[in-house]
Structure 1
Amino acid sequence: MQSYEERLTAPRSWWAIAALVGVSCALILFPLGTLPMLGGLIGGGALAAVAVSSYGSPRIRVVGGALLAGDAKIPLTALGEAQALDADEAAAWRTYKADARAFMLLRGYIRTAVRVEITDPEDPTPYAYLSTRDPERLVAALAAARA
């Protein structure tokens, strides 16, 4: 059985921005002296780093007969066809093709995605939209896990 695991980490540029937030906080507190300036550098940088790390922490996994995507745990028996979406098709499903009832684990900095139908008749969610850097591998892992 092929397993799959991916963390939707934030891009490196976001970490640079977090460092610049710390520098900005230090510059804001510069007139108050050295100690407040260092506090602003460390505190502002740390808070920005926590925000970036938190936003980039969701994982997508296919393990133990279930698809785990962020906080959602969907049994493979409730899943239908999985479709790999290229950048253009993923953008369409994020915008004008989107259904408000869908489960979306969306990260704008990841251009490709997978759309998985949810076939459970008791679940009003029509599909799950999952941002992923390797959509073909996730589709293959879902197919292998169901087989």
Structure 2
Amino acid sequence: MSSPSAKSPANTVLYSERLTPSIWIWLIAAGLASACILVFMPISVFAGITGAVIAAIILAVLLILSTPAIRVTPDSLQVGRAQIERRFIGRVEGFRGDDATLQRGPALNATAYMCIRGWISPVVRIEITDPADRTPYWLTSTRHPEKLVQALTEGR
């Protein structure tokens, strides 16, 4: 008899990544929050500092809550809010540099599902073969396209 805490093979996570903001996004958020000091300084120094602290908290919460995750299990793929069974995944390709820019721009199909973050350049294109789904492919940002492609193509 297995223990309740033992993971079943279907729940095993093969790949997991959070598309967290890069350091320069946090610096921009800190700069915007600091600008509140200038906005509220004519009222008082206390109002300026309070406004900056509140703006910093709001920006941090929004950045954290809007961070999507990529999760691959033996049975499914989840990218942000979207989830699909792996049996409906076709060809998987990773792109970096100019090729990634091409995939996010001129080569992009308008009906594709996109989970793109501007602070993460590499992307992975995941073909969807479900006949009931009109989405031709998913395009997602990832810091590790080779690892994501490997997780999705191994064991097929």
Q: TM-score, normalised by structure 1?
A: 0.91
Mapped to 1, the partners of 2:18 and 2:105 lie a distance apart of 23
1:97 aligns with one of 107, 116, 126: 107
What is the RMSD of the two structures over their aligned residues, measured on CA atoms?
1.6
Q: Which residue of 15, 31, 35 maps to 1:20?
A: 31
Greater than 3 Å deviation, 4+ residue runs: none
Post-superposition Cα deviations, 1:44-79, rounded to whole Å, max 9, x if no partner, equal 211222233234x10101025100000000110111
TM superposition shift of 1:35: 2.6
Match of 2:41 in 1: 30
- Higher relative contact order at CA 8 Å, sep ≥6: structure 1 or structure 2? 1
Does the 8 Å contact 1:102/1:125 carry over to 2? yes
Structure with more of its chain in helix, by fraction:
1
Secondary structure of the residue that 1:31 maps to in structure 2? coil
Aligned residue for 1:32, secondary structure, equals coil
Change (3 A) 1:114 1:32: same
* Residue type at the aligned position of 2:44: G
Does the residue aligned with 2:127 lie in a helix, a strand or coil?
strand
The match for 2:85 is 75
8 Å CA contact retained: 2:14, 2:74: no
Q: Which runs of 5+ in 1 are unaligned?
A: none
Q: What are the residue-to-residue correspondences of 1:58-73 with 2, within 5 Å?
A: 58-73=68-83
TM-score for the superposition, normalised by structure 2: 0.86
Q: Which runs of 5+ in 2 are unaligned?
A: 1-11
Deviation at 1:102, TM superposition (A): 0.4
Percent of paired sites with the same residue: 37
Change (3 A) 1:2 1:59: closer
